[in-house]
């Protein structure tokens, strides 16, 4: 199934995005928020995009046939073990069977390679799959982008607009990595068309600490924000354990305690992205935290 271009032809700019009709990208998760964006950027570049459907995952041979002719498999699927480990393993095997030379897994997160098992359930799943990916006879590239900046306008309890507070744990000077979903999708699309990508690519649309978030929130809204430190990382870890015990929500991908684990990891500084590969594709325009926060005001 070919994913149809949702963008009008007038948006295409062949001068800045020369078509590469020799590339066929196999995309899993094309109907998701990130997957749709990746597909759009690939199509703007003139590449062919073959979007995998649930029916393609019905059998190994069927999925392998669906991957045939692909120059890279890009995974943008989201879920728990049955998706991140099991479904991606099936997809990986199909890609190898079909002779696809490259594979981009569904990572799009902080640098889990610097974390030990047990810190973060969702990142542990990514670590497990990527250990298998490292042993597979296929070239692989993971895109690590920190936290999606988009989450700061709602889902992530960091910039508290109603209270005019910026919530942080531990050290207010700890630098944090943020990248919008749009920037992540554009970068992923270019990486999918780039035959020379390394095993990991690390990007951040903005690198900012709690004090920087405070300034960005003020500039974006015109209101004065204050810092709010409920406690250190040890307290956050304890609260995470209590929340998980009271509300396990084992079948949810992002229960409250999972977000708390992510915050703990980020404010610990351990998974800080370094070095950054932002300049690999110099034509990209990166969106700052302030720009995203300003969009919320509208």
Residue 159, strand partner residues: 166
pLDDT tens-place values along the chain, 298 residues long: 233 233 222 223 333 444 455 799 999 999 999 999 999 999 999 999 999 998 899 888 999 999 999 999 999 999 999 999 999 999 999 999 999 999 999 999 999 999 999 989 999 999 999 999 999 999 999 999 999 999 999 889 999 999 999 999 999 999 999 999 999 999 999 999 999 999 999 999 999 999 999 999 999 999 999 999 999 999 999 999 999 999 999 999 999 999 999 999 999 999 999 999 999 999 999 999 999 999 985 5
Extract the tokens encoding 130: 């990527």
Residues 6 or more apart in contact with residue 183 via CB below 8 angstroms: 145, 203, 205, 284, 286, 287
Can you list the domains of the chain with their CATH numbers?
A: 9-293 (3.40.50.720)
Residue 20 pLDDT = 56
Let me know: does 289 contact 283? Beta carbons within 8 Å. Answer: no
Distance (Å, rounded) from C-alpha 266 to C-alpha 262? 6
Q: pTM value?
A: 0.92
For the chain, what is the radius of gyration of the CA atoms? Answer: 20
pLDDT of the residue at 296: 85
pLDDT of residue 42: 97
Distance, in Å, from the CA atom of 165 to the CA atom of 47, rounded to the nearest integer, reads: 44
For 223-259, letters b (16+ CB in 10 Å) and e give eebeebeeeebeebbebbeebbeeeeeeeeeebbbbb
């Amino acid at each position: 199934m070919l994913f149809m271009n949702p963008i009008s032809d007038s948006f295409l700019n062949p001068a800045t995005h020369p078509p590469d009709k020799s590339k066929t990208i196999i995309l899993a998760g094309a109907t998701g928020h990130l997957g749709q964006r990746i597909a759009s950027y690939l199509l703007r570049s003139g590449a062919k995009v073959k979007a995998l459907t649930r029916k393609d995952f019905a059998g190994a041979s069927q999925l392998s046939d669906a991957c045939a002719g692909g120059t890279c498999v890009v995974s943008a699927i989201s879920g728990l073990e049955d998706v991140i480990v099991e479904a991606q393993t099936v997809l990986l095997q199909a890609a190898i069977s079909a002779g696809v030379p490259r594979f981009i897994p569904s990572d799009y997160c902080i640098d889990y390679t610097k974390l030990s098992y047990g810190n973060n359930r969702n990142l542990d799943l990514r670590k497990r799959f990527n250990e298998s990916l490292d042993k597979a006879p296929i070239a692989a590239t993971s895109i690590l982008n920190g936290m999606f900046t988009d989450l700061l306008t709602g889902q992530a309890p960091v910039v508290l607009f109603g209270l005019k507070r910026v919530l942080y744990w531990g050290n207010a000077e700890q630098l944090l990595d943020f990248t919008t979903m749009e920037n992540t999708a554009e970068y992923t699309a270019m990486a999918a068309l780039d035959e020379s990508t390394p095993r990991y690519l690390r990007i951040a649309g903005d690198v900012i600490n709690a004090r920087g978030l405070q300034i960005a929130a003020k500039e974006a809204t015109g209101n004065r924000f204050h810092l709010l430190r409920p406690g250190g990382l040890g307290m956050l870890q304890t609260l995470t354990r209590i929340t998980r015990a009271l509300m396990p929500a084992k079948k949810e991908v992002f229960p409250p305690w999972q977000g708390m684990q992510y915050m703990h990891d980020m404010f610990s500084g351990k998974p800080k992205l370094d070095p950054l590969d932002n300049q690999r594709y110099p034509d990209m325009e990166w969106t700052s935290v302030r720009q995203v926060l300003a969009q919320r005001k509208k």
